[in-house]
Chains A and B, each alone.
Chain A
């Protein structure tokens, strides 16, 4: 699946990327570079790359990571350079793209390792204490004497106290951070329960009593850490794939020096006034003005417009547009913070702030749960002391037993386990779940907003009037079009890939193609270029004209191709009771046609990014929860401001960064699938929470009345955790059952 993503992305990145600006310095002074390598599948690939590159002079290390498809190279800067090594890799048959050091997130990695260390320590503690506890429980029915039991308790204390001190840190830190913001997170009752349990058990051990709950404290930590680690791991995997997709789009710019020499430059280092060369197939790295060259620019990611624009000297051009037909030299007028792109990012930040206020379901439960539980424990303590007249030690014991038995274990596991299963299922379907609360938010939606170009459609043009054209015309046009990279020409040549290009075809960027044959002059291009004077029909999409050798014309009409299952997906979403709308930056007739083809009744055309946000605000004000699906730069602010958002893997990097979900492949079915998984997950989470509460309703009265012993606590806790986990695993079977249905 990762591989399909890679090859999909590659179509987007035509030009070679110069790796030199991405090289970093290692601690030992060697140069280092991380590359994303396409096409590594097996041991053979790993070995071939590592062996061949290690043999090159100056290379100190070449190590492939098969999980992430990344290769790390380190070499002696004096002996060789990045270009040579990447060239050697290409000769081996592997294409690669360099990673910028700052896009590799070491923080995330460190966080994962920290959790894993805590998990290992907690696992060690829980297992060894359980070993002793089982002995104590068995001893209660046989002949274990008091001193032996005390010995077991002391050993347990020695194991559990360091374990808890080490492994509770993730929960403690999060609970503390929550308290600082004035909120009660689920981590607070967890922390309190574990710390109090340990402290009380120690007290009981010192006293020589039998109510020590060391095993409960250690296994509670262990279970919760397992859930948390798996949850983080699933998301880290999705994020790594998303990072790989993004780096495929990241590129360098080519700087033209005053003396005419060229130099590769990181996009982040571009400054106003520089002169840049933009090759065919590359995205413009900055806003600017054209100095030399004529070409067609594809602005579909920026505005949603499908038809490329012809541009020439002195025209203003914008970062993010794709250069289609001829190289351009541009003078940078703005870079970084001043570009149109940066403006969009700023809009996006503002839009995204509303979403940060979303409170996760577990934390909403915790807001009710922790005060109630802590109050119940307090009431128990006071009740036993003053009503029953028990000594305070005994009252405290019962009160802590209440805290232990209401253990937040089942609640703490309710969400992470479902989350892990759900993101695993989505990952297999090519949907990357990037945000922690994305499932919850997706399950709550009632409206779906689609962007058109690149989202509902593939952003790829198709001949619309093939049945009106003669085969000869088509063959002639294709033989001309085969030499051009203009999207209309490519759409034509895709129809007849076997036709050989005509010799001597000249391309005039922004105008059309010209070929001189013995029979006469052939032209393919705009109406103006061909000199056609026919009355225009009622087609509003892009068109091409062919001038035959005898001076007569043929007209080729094009439409944007909808994704193959667009209409089907829209119908499926409607069947689930969701309202569907289309919101596009493209022109009215084109959007209308697409809306009709996809079966969407509510549509709006010529929408600027701010219009899209306005529409989202309008819907939000009406109390609607909106899923925004979009791919372009112009969609990014809308993606950030919607309740939840999805972006195709072919979208702009900014949109992918803003979206909660990224889906791969040609189909839109992923939208439906993700929604279904989110709904099922939500149902399971609610069931889990209900189960946890039902269990508490049974166990708390027992605890308040003082019937709970360490054995009962351990059994009740594990039973509730296992029930919750098994219930969550049903999500796998739900997916399997659905696949079996035709």
Chain B
């Protein structure tokens, strides 16, 4: 089988050749995942796309098996999750893999997004690729939120109540929309049923959008840490085996951390209140989402006005859609942006600060800190990013990827 750059593959196996002549799946795999020219200078941040894909598949596989044993009924759901953990063979493993998997899926995706931000992966010609990624993030958030409702613990119930109630901020039709979402006049059995149906549906839509994300990626190929386009074969390596093996190594390291949580601290990332069955008559002291939604929750609560809070929360993600046009710099990678680079780190700290504020009741110092951090978040994207691109003087770009790699080797 030929595998040199660009040459069409020749299949020696007759059956494969026969199929490929009629349905070119083998040629496709060959072109997109074997010979696909990929910049030779990726660092380990480039592992996280592959890692996120594996986590998505792992969530779907464990989720389908869990669904076979779960009861989406308000009277049975809580106990059915515990029955899975106690009486289904390896049920505890499935449940903890799924529960912890949600956190690690988000962790991988957040690193993946940070990679995109730092190295300017969202810039032309990859705007649509980036926007599809934001769609995936939104779908993930919706899926995770609905999944968290399914064990029907206290935090499931009250989290669902708080989040669905956000829609009541919409003028005029708000309350009707909330009743429609609930399927009643409070979060209850109909809500649980539809959330279960949607929680099963959305992951497959995520798979479809991921497929589009990958197709868009393969049009212009990956960005790289230098942010300059490959100029020829000396700048690239075939995807396989170079990056399949590197991704494989990165994935194993990621899975070690994941496994440590699944097996030794499965409840560490969760809220103890979710081991108390949902009780509409008792409100927990604090209603907090899982860690991966905390920064957005902090933005929601930082705004004194309910509708304003909802708009800012959704706006904080909507901003990402127009990010490619907010950034006015012609240079992609922060490696060559001496000023903006530090602001990306500052943004990361800002989001962590927001997350900490989201985890605590909005009182005392958390109120002004959350407001300041929210203001800074929007300042970063709406003012700093457009202005800095115009006034910052980027460092000189290397003439080619190969040049930079060889120079680095010489040093």
State whether these chains interact: no
